[in-house]
Amino acid sequence: LSAIASVSRRKMLIATSLAAIVVTISAPADVKSSLVDRVTAEADAIWRSAGLAITWERQPARASPRTLHVVFGNERGKATSSLQPLGWIRFDDDRPAPDMYLSYANAVSLLETSRDNIGLSHNMTILERDIYLSRALGRALAHELGHYLLASKAHTADGLMKANRTASEFFSSDRRRFAVAAKEWLQIAARLDDAVRVASD
C-alpha cells in the first residue's frame, strides 16, 4: 500500500507542476501573423490552466522529429458531423503523428454561417473577425493537442475532448467548456514524465 501511495503522490506532484512542450507553426501568407498569435494564445490559455506550458515557434525552426508541428491552411478535410472540421490530426497504427492541421477556410465558413450566434460577419471590423476566428481555431487546436498528448482518438461527453461543438461554443468569450479534465491531465502528465525519463536514460 505504501508503494501505491508513493506512486500516487508522485503523479499528483507531476500533475500540479508545470510541464512543457514545443510546437512549431507554419501558415500561408493569407493567414495573418497576428491571427496566428491569437490562435496560439487561445490554445495556450486552455492548456496553461491545466498545467502545461507551450513554447510556440514559427517555421523555419529547429528541426526535431519529436517536435509537434501545426499547419494552418485552407484544406477542407472530411466532415464527420454537420460542421466541417476546424482541425485534425493523423493517427498511424493508433499512434498520433506529430502533425496537426487547422483549416482557416472552414473557420471562415463557420463564422459566415453563424449569424444567429454572432451576427453578420460582413458588418464586423477586422479585429472582431480575428477575435472570433482565433477563439474557434485556438479551441480546435487545443482539442487536437489533447488527442496527441493522450495518444488517443477517444472523445468525451464534455470538456476539451468533446467531439461535436456548436458555433456558440467555438465563438463564445467563455472557454470554460473547453477545460481539461483532471483525469485527462493526470494521464498526460504521467506520459510526459515517462517520455522525459526515457530520453534521459
For the chain, the structural domain boundaries read 2-200
- Please give the CATH architecture assigned to the domain spanning 2-200: 3-Layer(aba) Sandwich (3.40)
Closest to 71 in 3D by CA, of 138, 14, 12, 26: 26
Cell readout for 137 is 481555431
3-class SS letters over the chain: CHHHHHHHHHHHHHHHCCEEEEEEEECCCCCCHHHHHHHHHHHHHHHHCCCEEEEEEECCCCCCCCCEEEEEECCCCCCCCCCCCCEEEEEECCEEEEEEEEEHHHHHHHHHCCHHHHCCHHHCCHHHHHHHHHHHHHHHHHHHHHHHHHCCCCCECCCCCECCCCHHHHHCCCCHHHCCCHHHHHHHHHHHHHHHHHHHC
Q: Is the pLDDT of residue 8 over 60?
A: no
**How confident is the model over 118-167, as pLDDT tens digits?**
999 999 999 999 999 999 999 999 999 999 999 999 999 999 999 999 99
**How confident is the model over 10-68, as pLDDT tens digits?**
444 444 456 889 999 999 999 999 999 999 999 999 999 999 999 999 876 455 656 79
What's the CA angle centered on 132, arms 128 and 171, to 5 degrees?
A: 135
